A and B are shown apart, each in its own frame.
Chain A
Amino acid sequence: MNDTTQSSQGVGLVVRGLRKSFDGQEVLKGIDLAVRPGEIFVIMGPSGSGKSVLLKHLIGLETPDAGEILVNGDPISAPETAAKYRMALVFQSGALLNSLTVGENVGLYLAEHRLKPPAEIERIVAEKLADVGLKDVMHKMPAELSGGMKKRAAIARALVIEPQLILYDEPTSELDPVSAVVIGNEILELNRRIRVTSLVVSHDRDLAFGVADRIAVIAEGRILTVGTPAEVKNFQDPLVQNFLTADFKRAS
């Protein structure tokens, strides 16, 4: 593929004793995790289990009440860590800036930090959009894209940073099954191609077992288990099993 993406290399992530409360209600109750460099790590759990709050801590959008987050051993809260490592978050909604075109969104990081001249930015943007299978959308507005296309554009925007860690927040939510598979394959392909560490937060069981090297199951602000997909499937805990096996009850 291209030079810019091949230069990325995944980083390791360690979370120790992470706690967070909002208005007296404890959302994260002591989270411990270790994500290995270059792996696809999925944090899976039901709605309201604290997944998205955890993700916001991992990218530095929230400050924990207690505990620490280390990127390759460096605390994420230190200003030099942000400069040292490149991390990107793909938001659940895509979070493309509605007032900018898709191309301007994807190239925003490079343009705002004046890292490349405009012609070079345009070339990189076209390249990243092509990497995620989007063509002829550079001059369109985000409102003109479908949900799946928005998410792929958001992934392209993340790729421009040449990330060492990509965090995905519910990447398949609000998508039809085919688009969800396309996004899942995109995550696998990126991981294979650039060995970026990928941390996916999702309640989509198909996605989790389809892409993960390892899975953590979170419920009520606590990690219940961490392991390979096979290990998690066999983990005998009522909460985990309830989440993994819940199905419709039709009369036979």
Chain B
Amino acid sequence: MFRNIGEIILLFWRTLLALPQTWRQRQKVFDQFFEIGNASLLMVCVLSFFIGGVIALNFGPVLVEHSMASVVGGVVGLALAKELAPVMMAILIAGRIGSAMAAEIGSMSVYQEVDALRTMNINPIHYLVLPRVLAISLALPMLVVFSVLVGWFGGAVVANYNHLMDIPFRVFFANLRDIVELQDVANGVFKSFCFAVIVGVVSCHQGLTTIGGPRGIGRSVTKAVVNSIVLIVIFDYLLTRFLLK
């Protein structure tokens, strides 16, 4: 386990050192970026709408019962912006994109394509890792902003049409504007950027260290997703502590 952590930190450091290659690899970054967007946008939309709806459904009736209908918008808004959108989207991306990255690079490792790059003096970190980590680091924060907006809308729809709440859109969003500050959304976006780096580096690391044929690829994919999710949850706590100060 410690060896794995050490290797992941080393790969992260090497990816940082490769940053000057960004302009050279820009086409691959854009390709990966659009692939991530294409693969996740619809899912992000559906998931976020229902997360917003579920939060409204869980807290709304209780708050209404205690004569606090006016704060439902704020509760849904804060929960989504600060916590749920960044964490849920990071987990979704780990499952949808991180697994695909680990499988693709893992397959390239097993079938000697990575070795072929090395024999041509092409650094796999420049060619494979950097574009993916950059693309996911750009895409996830954007998806989180989108997710927050859709989630707020989902919460507003449920709060408005559920007979236990009947909170008008105007009241919901007025309260949301009062309680949620831009800083809250920015914190969530910052967290999602950190999660994106974690998913990108962990998935690429698993891919590059894949051995043992199709079974090995399967193992790497599972490890990439599980390790990413564990690290997302741990870093979520650490970042929340850091951002609360």
Contacts and interface: CB of A to CB of B under 8 A. Distances in A.
Q: Is the interface of A mostly helix, strand, loop or mixed?
A: loop
Of listed B107, B111, B118, residue having the most chain A CB within 10 A: B111
Interface residues of A, number: 23
Interface string B103-125: 01001100111011111111000
Contacts of A93: 111-112
A89 B113 CA distance: 12
Contacts of A161: 120
Contact of A82 (B107, B121, B127): B121
A50 B107 CA distance: 24
Nearest to A105: B116
A97 B116 contact: yes
Interface stretch (A38-46, A65-73, A108-116, A241-249): A108-116
A181 to B, nearest CB: 25
B122 A61 contact: no
B116 A95 contact: yes
A108 B112 contact: no
A88 B122 CA distance: 13
Nearest to B116: A95
Contacts of B122: 108-109, 112-113
Interface in B22-53: 24
Contact of A108 (B24, B104, B111, B120): B120
Given A97-B108, A112-B127, A61 B113 contact: no
8 contacts: A61-B119, A82-B121, A88-B120, A96-B116, A97-B113, A97-B116, A98-B108, A112-B127
Interface of A: 56, 59-61, 82, 87-89, 91-93, 95-99, 108-109, 112-114, 157, 161
Given A89-B115, A113-B121, 9 more contacts: A56-B115, A89-B116, A91-B116, A95-B113, A95-B116, A97-B108, A98-B107, A98-B111, A112-B120
